[in-house]
Amino acid sequence: MRAARLIKMVLLLQSRPSMTAAELAQELEVSERTITRDALALSEAGVPVYADRGRAGGYRLVGGYRTRLTGLARTEAEALFLSGLPRALREMGLEDAASAARLKVSAALLPSLKDASRSAAQRFHLDAPGWYQEPEAPALLPAVAEAVWDDRVVAARYRDAERELEPYGLVLKAGVWYLCARADRRSFRVYRIDRFGAVALTDERFERDETFDLPAFWEARAAQFARSILRAEIVVRLSPDGAARLPYVTDRAAAREALKSAGPPDRRGRVTLTLPVESEEVAFDQLFGLGAELEVLEPAGLRARFAEAAARLHGMYGEAQR
């Protein structure tokens, strides 16, 4: 614990001309007396920490001293920028690399590693999972992750078809892992990791397309997918409260577009709109929670289903009040 604090103290002093004991104590979450003892320990260990006395004084490093805590490997440097995502690192098989990186914390990466943060962002994107879910890591995820980090072509079996892929990046979406890869050296596609039957890393490395933007690619594909499954339409009338809650119970983009295209509200503030949905079954499950804030107008079958459910609830609670 103390060793880590001493390392951080050296790095702080290395990054600034000088710091007061109070500033160091705040950064390191210790007392000023501890800072005094730590400075003495560093000096005795050969680190040239100098204390300027007086009101404007503080601690500084002399002689252009630079820490020798260097030696980060590329994998460690890239993993360092993902160290706030411990579960994802563990599932990708990078936990050891991240641990080694934290032990080798460096105030200034070597020039060859300056692109580590961008490199990491272009190989992994987190689309945060929803609550109340326990994501399950696919068995082949570590092998796929290794190929992504190392720019290695993989020979894979996906849904019983053999494919050769250039794996560009991983995405964790709602607890499910996806691979964004270039197939046949041409088009970029998305593959669910848990649907790979086999993955073998080849000895061939591919040259990355530097114009490829993983977050932008995923956002576009996710929006395209969301639109593709909205194959039905329903007509509903919503109260002001129902309109405000609609984007939180169904596809958000579709709901907002429908609300934007709705006509003017009636005298009670209700709006009528056409809403794209995946199916009548899914629409019932999603919208029933809005209760009396929503009225289904079309199709007739869905309206009848809501009416039947409402009658059953009325019967249930009506009997309880007698």
Residues 53-108 have pLDDT tens digits of 766 678 888 876 766 554 555 555 555 445 445 555 566 665 565 555 444 444 44
CB 236 within 8 A of CB 275: yes
**b/e map 157-176, b = 16+ CB within 10 Å:** ebeeeebebbbbbbbbbeeb
**Measured between alpha carbons, how far is 149 from 146 in angstroms, rounded to an integer?**
5
Q: According to the model, what pLDDT value does residue 105 have?
A: 42
Q: According to the model, what pLDDT value does residue 298 have?
A: 95
CB atoms within 10 A of CB 300: 9
Backbone phi, psi, residue 51, to 5°? -105, 120
68 burial class (0-12, 13-18, 19+ CB within 10 angstroms)? exposed
| Both structure tokens of 214 | 């993983």
**DSSP 3-state assignment of 298?**
strand
**Measured between alpha carbons, how far is 177 from 93 in angstroms, rounded to an integer?**
14
Bridge partners (DSSP) listed for residue 49 = 61
Give yes or no for residue 169 having a pLDDT over 60. Answer: yes
Q: Give the tens place of pLDDT for each residue, 4-63.
A: 788 888 878 877 778 898 899 988 888 989 998 888 888 887 888 888 876 667 888 887
| Both structure tokens of 200 | 């073998």
Close Cβ partners of 253 (under 8 Å, ≥ 6 residues apart): 223, 226, 227
**Measured between alpha carbons, how far is 227 from 194 in angstroms, rounded to an integer?**
23
107-111, 124-128, 171-175, 310-314: which has the minimum mean pLDDT? 107-111
- Could you tell me whether strands 152-158 and 196-205 are parallel, antiparallel, or unpaired per DSSP bridges? antiparallel
